[in-house]
Chain A
Amino acid sequence: MKDEILMENKSIVVPGEVLAKGMSFLPGPGTYRRDDVIVAKKVGLATVDGKVIKLIALNGTYLPRVKDKIIARVIDVLMTGWRVDINCPYSAVLTMKDATNEFIPRGADLTKYYDLGDHMLCQVVNVTSQNLVDVSMKGPGLRKLKGGRFIKVSPYKVPRVIGKDGSMVSMIKKATGCDIIVGQNGVIWINGDPKAEVVAVKAIKKIDKEAHLSGLTDRIAKWLEEAK
């Protein structure tokens, strides 16, 4: 049997689609081997890189990776820390040790530091194979987020919201005068004048919707100019 690639390079594939036949190809991210064929796991763009078949997913839920800066929300106060929602199928744990530089005395009321429903910008420090996630508050810029409001975008569109070297988000910040923090998990914190916030939210939703179209930055710049 001849080894061959069964899809066009850089084409959109769906889960279950057979991408290549034969043992001389290797399954990359987003694909897996079934018997002697390589099959797509997600909806996305399949590319051939030498012998490796790669698949870049178009959309999906957030999957935590170490060093991601994300926005989390406290959902439970534990004996030794906090359980936080990170907009992902798995919740994360923030331990007392990683929560603050202050010394937390034995038996202290942990809600004094973070209470239920509080949001914070934190960093993923460990993800186990069983998807137990640890986050930390130790690092530059990591802090509790007071006031403001939160919106969600697809985690796969976060790079477009941020833009190259943060160009997109700083453009929105400049145009609206709002403070904006974009978490890698797709949660975005916005704080500013109520009217300006509405404009910022609409701009971000527009990016989320039109992320796949070219000339995005110019279009958003023009839109922001008109919205003023």
Chain B
Amino acid sequence: MADEHIVKALAADVRYDGRKKLEYRDVKVEYGVSKSAEGSARVSIGETVVMAGVKMELTTPYADRPNEGNIMVNAELLPLSSPRYEPGPPGEKATEIARVVDRGIRESKAIDTTKLCIAPGEKAWGVLIDVVSINDAGNLQDAAALAAIAALKNARLPQLSEHGQIDYDATKTDKPLPLEREPVEVTVYKIGEHYFIDPLCTEEDSADARLTIAVTEKDTICALQKGGVGPLTVEDIDHMIGIAQKHSKQLRKAL
């Protein structure tokens, strides 16, 4: 449902809030916003605000990967953040955000999961990443991925008691997570022949297609997710990846 008025504005390279097509709003990252989490961050891109928290737990490694810990990402879209979201089980959008954030972190091998192992086949760290939307003014995906990686950077392992249980009451150790890479995600949108990043809600609604691209600091692509009803040609995708590699720096600056 492409809105002709938006297309007209994009043709003049003027967005609804006065930005250019390939320009992020102000990106801000705050670390350590939650006391009870092992790591947390609040990310705001313009008026969009997302919080992420990291919780560590002790788990048994999976049978086929006895010397690796595991990662889990969950996303929740709070009803307070937009009139579109209702309480209840996660919907399509929340599931997609969680899975794409997970894919970026997992496939970039951002966390060295072998270092999360405590006793092979018996005990390993499980990293739980929770992402919640505080306000949706468009582009939750990029904000969620940035918040997740910021929370991981902020995380410190909790102390273990003599019996090998987690002691949440004790102060955390100063050991960070084994972070190898820092992937950030850039979602490139397409309306007609125009490409743009960091959409507002109205722009999200009228976009033909979108491509979320996870990029590491060395510009390596580690995850993709295509959305929207419009098709993308090979040239489209090449072009969008180029945009993502170039403009991921705008996000990375805030980390």
Closest chain A CB from B202 CB (angstroms): 8
User: Closest chain B residue to A150 by CB distance?
Assistant: B202
User: Closest chain B residue to A149 by CB distance?
Assistant: B5
| Residue among A194, A198, A201 making CB contact with B8, cutoff 8 Å | A194
A15 at the interface (CB under 8 A from B): no
- Cross-chain contact A197 with B4 (CB below 8 angstroms): no
Q: Which of A98-116 contact B (CB under 8 A)?
A: none
Q: Which of B1-20 contact A (CB under 8 A)?
A: 1, 4-5, 8-9, 12, 14, 16-18
Most buried by A among B5, B16, B202: B5
- Cross-chain contact B17 with A194 (CB below 8 angstroms): no
Q: How many A-B residue pairs have CB under 8 A?
A: 25
CA of A177 to CA of B191, assembled, Å: 27
- Cross-chain contact B4 with A194 (CB below 8 angstroms): no
Q: Which of A195-217 contact B (CB under 8 A)?
A: 195, 197-198, 201-202
| Residue among B1, B4, B14, B202 making CB contact with A198, cutoff 8 Å | B14
Complex interface: chain B residues within 8 A of A117 (CB): 1
- Cross-chain contact A195 with B5 (CB below 8 angstroms): no
CA of A202 to CA of B17, assembled, Å: 8
Number of interface residues of A (CB under 8 A): 12
CA of A101 to CA of B67, assembled, Å: 76
Complex interface: chain B residues within 8 A of A198 (CB): 14, 16-18
CA of A148 to CA of B12, assembled, Å: 15
Q: Which of A4-43 contact B (CB under 8 A)?
A: none
- Cross-chain contact A147 with B16 (CB below 8 angstroms): no
Contact with B along A178-208 (1 / 0, CB 8 A): 0000000000000101110110011000000
Q: Using A198-B17, A198-B18 as known contacts, say yes or no to A147 and B12 having CB atoms under 8 A apart.
A: no
Number of interface residues of B (CB under 8 A): 11
CA of A148 to CA of B8, assembled, Å: 10
Q: Using A194-B12, A195-B12 as known contacts, say yes or no to A147 and B4 having CB atoms under 8 A apart.
A: yes
CA of A225 to CA of B1, assembled, Å: 37
Q: Which of B198-245 contact A (CB under 8 A)?
A: 202
| Residue among B1, B14, B17, B202 making CB contact with A195, cutoff 8 Å | B14
Complex interface: chain A residues within 8 A of B5 (CB): 147-149, 191
Complex interface: chain A residues within 8 A of B17 (CB): 198, 201
CA of A191 to CA of B3, assembled, Å: 13
| Residue among B1, B12, B16 making CB contact with A149, cutoff 8 Å | B16
Complex interface: chain B residues within 8 A of A201 (CB): 16-17
Complex interface: chain B residues within 8 A of A191 (CB): 5
A-side residues, CB < 8 A to B, are 117, 147-149, 191, 193-195, 197-198, 201-202
> What would 10 A/B residue contacts be, using CB atoms closer than 8 Å?
A148-B5, A149-B5, A194-B9, A194-B12, A195-B12, A195-B18, A197-B9, A197-B16, A198-B16, A201-B16
Q: Pick the 6 closest A-B CB pairs, nearest first.
A: A194-B9, A194-B14, A198-B18, A194-B12, A147-B5, A195-B14
Q: A194-B14, A195-B12 are in contact. List 12 more A-B contacts (CB 8 A).
A: A149-B5, A191-B5, A193-B12, A194-B8, A194-B9, A194-B12, A197-B9, A197-B16, A198-B14, A198-B17, A198-B18, A201-B16
